[in-house]
Chains A and B, each alone.
Chain A
């Protein structure tokens, strides 16, 4: 019994990480006024870059950095298209998703001649991984979990307690007001989408390096979208998003233990149903940033 509970808990935490990272990415971006549904694609590209770089250079940590870098680069492209060129944010995001689906498969064939690539290394913490206790522990709760917890806490402080956070939120609510006070709207929005992409890329690295130990075609499997649901569920706050990520992770973790009365596809619907419920219900109403999705142009 205890073993089952522990297994479910560990699995919940493991499964919550990609949702949380993608949701945090969404939170940064939308708080600054840019919708980033491209998270799904940034995650997928990140997952591929992580394994590819790990296998080529032999270091999982470099793989992680590559994943974050690729995510940031895709975030930057999204920024150029939506912030500077003022294109539709959904269309740009969709383009990033489709592009990622294609480029990852293309590069898989090109570099490895297959679309299922086993990662040759995992993220190991120097010193700690030498000890048996930590080795066993990390096999249950991978190191990136702790990095994620740290990022959630830092994001909370950054968004709500710092000068940058205040400006970032102001830009997402009423960019013109921020502009008249000398806040550089474009700079804040670029910063937000680049962070957003980086977090999604990191989520992708977690999926391929830590979770599956493989890159497979389409590995993100809608987790970027569930991340957006977590963001909404968490009312565009880092702590709320992490909470929602855990909830969705739990939903997935208990699945193997549930009696097989309900088809598992229905269980998969739970995050979305919860999100729709939260969006529709008057209680705990979720209000998105006022200017999200609207490109800003100075007159």
Chain B
């Protein structure tokens, strides 16, 4: 008889339009790291919200530590020893680490907060699990990786034995992921049970003991990690074979489209971010830029697209100098830009999908008609959106849905569709599949290759090495604002890239 920390049996939960969980069973053993994987919309979040008491199931049973329970709210779940680390952190930046942790359950003497006790408790938890967090630091001064540890401490402070981690690595840089895995191991070593929600299959393989796969609200498999492979999990998730390795022919590069010479620029703190970058991209090829985030990638893209001034050097597009032009003029020269942060720069979430598909070209006919003043033509806008929705398999298909209602993968497809549809000479794709599910990743990769084969010069910037390796015809490595090496994909192993990316060679 196995000892289960969590038994969710035959749970069904329906919403007005969909069955989010259909007879789902999830069994999590005590002290294991259990990966829960599935595409966006597979029902993982619903299931976890049921476990955390935020939702009540229509039928089925919930058993924690051998005792059947029913939760009316997160408070009940917390009492039962369940803690949740949300994907979007719930931290208050101007407060200290200790204040954030104890909020809601403050140690106090007649209403006055007992800060020394709070600090001591947080320090003790930090030490116990090797989290290396300073309780007196203000959260606003800390990195994302540390913030995540604070979230874990918050959960531990409330006495959780089962930790639900919702896509914890989505926000972390590669080296932070390594440290994060160490923390998970430390938690496991001390007897905590961890449910780890992710899309990233190599992480499942690296850290989990067992995997449960969900698809379209159903549980489609539960296996020991050691007995499976990424290919098998991917197939279960999507329901068909997934090409993790992008299938592509060799590039047939033409003339140079983008040429960057001696480019220098400052970052937001007015410190040098680019220190003389030289690179070129030809028509019909993909240049991938690999590098640890924060080494000048963001600034490079911003300078090329006209969002940031260069302090020195030149950017040429098909022989014409474009640096110093406004973003609108750069776009008009035929530059498409899939920005790294779709919420900040890619979409207006409050706008409809249709309106989002014409951002940046909204001043062109047929989207505007001139009747003395320029007036938008909703018919033309919706027609374009309907075409793109079909072509890029954007779901739900209603073009008048606000973009904010779409899942991350579908939002990204809206951006990709808009940028590709203009058939740019140069397409810049920054972190094109960040926070996107496996099916959409495959789709976006395929479209990038198609753009290349159609003669577009493609510049891919990604923190995901696998992505760079599988897409690029040439790989340039950026480190501290300089291109420190350029490799053909055949000679670029993860090890060699890793050394270049960390400035070791």
Contacts and interface: CB of A to CB of B under 8 A. Distances in A.
Interface of A: 157, 161-164, 166-167, 169-170, 173-174, 176-178, 180-183, 287, 290
Given A157-B112, A166-B99, A178-B103, 4 more contacts: A166-B95, A170-B95, A181-B103, A287-B94
Contacts of B94: 169, 173, 287, 290
Contacts of A161: 112-113
B499 interface: no
Interface string B71-107: 0001100000000001000111111000110011110
Interface string B120-145: 00000000000000000000000000
Contact of B104 (A164, A173, A181): A181
B111 A167 contact: no
Contacts of A166: 95, 99, 103, 106, 113
A161 B113 CA distance: 6
B422 to A, nearest CB: 36
Contact of B113 (A162, A182, A287): A162
A174 B91 contact: yes
A53 to B, nearest CB: 32
A170 B99 CA distance: 9
Contacts of A180: 74, 86, 90
B235 interface: no
B136 to A, nearest CB: 15
A163 B108 CA distance: 7
Nearest to A289: B94
A157 B113 CA distance: 10
A176 B90 contact: yes
Contacts of B112: 157, 161-163
Interface string B133-176: 00000000000000000000010000000000000000000000
8 contacts: A161-B113, A162-B111, A163-B106, A164-B111, A166-B113, A174-B90, A176-B90, A183-B104
Contacts of A182: 74-75, 104-105
Closest 9 interchain pairs by CB?
Answer: A181-B104, A177-B90, A173-B92, A182-B104, A163-B106, A174-B92, A162-B111, A163-B108, A181-B103
Contact of B103 (A176, A183, A290): A183
A161 B111 CA distance: 9
A170 B92 contact: yes
A173 B93 contact: yes
Nearest to A176: B90
Contacts of A164: 111
B298 to A, nearest CB: 23
Contacts of A176: 90
Most chain B CB atoms below 10 A, which of A169, A173, A180, A287 = A180
A163 B90 contact: no
Contacts of A181: 90, 103-105, 154
Contacts of B99: 166
Nearest to A162: B111
A73 B75 CA distance: 33
